[in-house]
Amino acid sequence: MTKKFGAGIALGIVGTTLVAIIVWVTVVYTGAYNVAASDQHADAVRWTLDTTMHRSVARRAGRVELPEGPSKSLLAEGAGHYAESCAYCHGAPGQRASEWSRGMRPQPPHLAEAAKEWSVDEIHWIVTNASR
């Protein structure tokens, strides 16, 4: 009885794996999943992407030594980099994101709000490495 039970479990695992592979291949090769940037991801896909990003950043973010009161010139330099590379999609204080960025999926977050859910170390990692 134990051998049959073990064989049944093994067969169930193999069968489930095969079905999952068949579904995955079908979705990939038939184009069943809509990848248009103008449509939102399915809830399960959005959750998977969000959770993966949070876990990945948390795992990779190291301890960051922040400078004691950054100088005005350093703050101005950072603001310049932000204005050149980030503000178009993420907006800036008193400035909305560019019209064309509002159709992006996922929508780029307004960073002043999004920063509340990340630690300083995680923000440093995201800014240094970017994300996709």
Q: What token pair was written down for 23?
A: 């579904």
Supply the mean pLDDT for the chain.
88
Q: 125 near 57, Cβ under 8 Å?
A: yes
pLDDT single digits (tens) 64-78: 777 777 889 988 998
Average pLDDT over residues 22-42: 89
Distance of CA 112 to the CA centre of its chain: 17
Model pLDDT, residue 77: 93
Q: What are phi and psi of 20, to 5 degrees?
A: -60, -40
CB 81 within 8 A of CB 92: no
Lowest-confidence segment of 13-27, 79-93, 98-112 by average pLDDT: 98-112
Does pLDDT of 1 surpass 70?
no
Would the pTM of this model clear 0.75, i.e. be above it?
A: no
Domain residue limits, the chain: 1-33, 40-129
CA–CA separation, 132 and 130 (whole Å): 7
Q: Give residue-wise pLDDT tens across range 9-18.
A: 999 999 999 9
**DSSP letter string over 104-120?**
-SSPPPPHHHHGGGS-H
Average pLDDT over residues 92-103: 86
